[in-house]
Amino acid sequence: MRFTGSHRTTYTYSAPVFFEQHTIRLRPRSDPRQEVRQFSIDIMPGPEGITEGIDAWGNDVVWVWFSGRHERLEIVTRFDVITTGENPFDFIIPTSDAEGLTPAYTDDERSALTPYLARPAMLHASVLELAAEAVRASDHAIVRFPGELAKRIYGRCEMAYRELGPPLPAEETLAAGRGSCRDLAVLFIDACRAVGVAARFVSGYVARRPPGEPAALHAWASVYIPGGGWRSFDPSQGLAVSHGHVKLAAAALPAGAAPIDGSFFSNGARSELGFAIELEVM
């Protein structure tokens, strides 16, 4: 698929403020299943300095810093991305030991995957039971487990649009039977880690959205499968991701995949966030 579009983020303040350094993760990732053909970013007011790099999670980021005080910050990106990989299962497990659950990651893999295996100090019994159900349904197979888990979350939890706020704890989402895409992604990740499957949080754009839902950033998850690497699954749609999603950022925790991260100094000024995403999918 080909995704072309723009993403405008606007912060307005009730009084002039001083910006600290901002980290921007709005450039689509480049990998064998996603090609970035064009990307541009415009920032107003013009920053004092700007640099591009790779963060600790392998995301393409822009760091910007400013001088003076301002009442408005606007960041506009434009992009042209090709996604490939219609078959999300185009791989083989290298050894029979690596086919089951818990996955038989190599020592090198396990060392690199440590942040993606870390689970909360206390996982709620309902989340553990959800993971156990998916293990049984998958016949303890690492290839089948993520899909079974995504289908179960999709069947139990209604998708609800929630514009602001961090993801809810997994047990709250499961108990409510509804949640935003980021809530469902965190539930999926916690259930994966409960059975030793490395999982991470992913943000980006999606071709298909529920009717009536405004164009906004989407969140899902990916798991690390021996022989297949990172493979994405979307619990808000109950499926394995093929070429209908565009990855912007991925990290062990949702905060590491935040599209914009920064703060400001002020004397009691209030802030308001606005955004507009235009997306054409061919």
User: What's 16's domain CATH number?
Assistant: 2.60.40.2250
| Same structural domain, 276 and 165 | no
**Same-domain check for residues 74 and 179:** no
Q: Do 219 and 262 fall into the same domain?
A: no
- What type of residue sits at position 9? T
Measured distance CA(246)–CA(234) in Å, rounded: 12
Give the pLDDT score at 211.
Answer: 61
Q: pTM for this structure?
A: 0.96
Assess whether 185 and 67 both reside in one domain: no
The pLDDT of residue 214: 74
pLDDT in tens, 100-129: 999 999 999 999 999 999 998 889 999 999
Residue 275 lies in a domain: yes
* Residue given tokens 């514009």 in the structure block: 163
Whether 178 is covered by a domain: the verdict is yes
Please indicate, yes or no, whether residues 231 and 271 belong to a single structural domain of this protein. no
Average of per-residue pLDDT across 201-213: 84
Flag whether pLDDT at 210 surpasses 70.
Answer: no
Query: How many domains does one find in the chain?
Result: 2
Whether 261 has a pLDDT exceeding 90, the answer reads: yes
| 218 has a pLDDT exceeding 70 | yes
**47 and 125 assigned to the same domain:** no
**Domain with 115 in it: what CATH number?**
3.10.620.30
Backbone φ and ψ for 53, nearest 5 degrees, come out as -170, -170
Instruction: Give percent of the chain above pLDDT 90.
Output: 90
Q: Is 273 inside a domain boundary?
A: yes
- What is the extent of the structural domain holding 191? 96-242
DSSP-derived 3-state class of residue 183: helix
Is there a single domain that holds both residue 65 and residue 115?
no
CA 161, CA 76: separation in Å to the nearest integer?
23
Residues 61 and 175 in one domain: no
Q: Is residue 15 part of a domain?
A: yes
Listed in sequence order, the residues at least 6 apart from 144 whose beta carbon sits closer than 8 Å to its beta carbon are 137, 138
- What is the DSSP pairing of strand 70-83 with strand 2-19? antiparallel
Radius of gyration of the chain (CA): 19
In Å, how far from its chain's centre is CA 204?
A: 6
For the stretch 72-93, pLDDT in tens is 999 999 999 999 989 999 999 9
